[in-house]
Amino acid sequence: MKASSAIKIVEQHLTKERFEHTLRVRDTALELARLYQEDEETVELAAIFHDYAKYRPLDEMKRWINNSYLPKDLLDYHHELWHGPVGALLIEREHGITDSNIKSAIHCHTTGKANMNKVDMILFVADYIEPGRNFAGLEEVREQAKHDLVKSAWLVSRNTINHLMSKNNTIYPDSFYAYNDLSRKVNGGIQ
The CA distance from 151 to 144, in Å, is: 7
Average pLDDT of the residues of the chain: 95
Distance between first and last Cα of the chain: 41
Judged against a pLDDT cut of 90, whether residue 191 lies above it is answered with no
The CA distance from 185 to 134, in Å, is: 27
Confidence of residue 189 (pLDDT cuts 50, 70, 90): low
Judged against a pLDDT cut of 70, whether residue 190 lies above it is answered with no
Does residue 169 sit within a domain? Answer: no
Helix (H), strand (E) counts: the chain: 10, 0
Kindly tell me the sign of the dihedral angle through the C-alpha atoms of 182, 183, 187, 188: negative
Does residue 163 sit within a domain? Answer: no
Does residue 55 sit within a domain? Answer: yes
Find the domain containing 130 and state its range. Answer: 3-134
Does residue 181 sit within a domain? Answer: no
What total number of domains does the chain contain? 1
Does residue 160 sit within a domain? Answer: no
Does residue 114 sit within a domain? Answer: yes
What tens digit of pLDDT does each residue of 104-138 get?
999 999 999 999 999 999 999 999 999 999 888 89
CATH number of the domain where residue 111 is located: 1.10.3210.10
Does residue 165 sit within a domain? Answer: no
Angle ∠(174,176,178) on CA atoms, nearest 5: 70
Judged against a pLDDT cut of 80, whether residue 76 lies above it is answered with yes
Does residue 189 sit within a domain? Answer: no
Q: Tell me what pLDDT residue 187 has.
A: 83
Q: How far is CA 118 from CA 66, 95, 107, 170, in A?
A: 29, 24, 14, 27
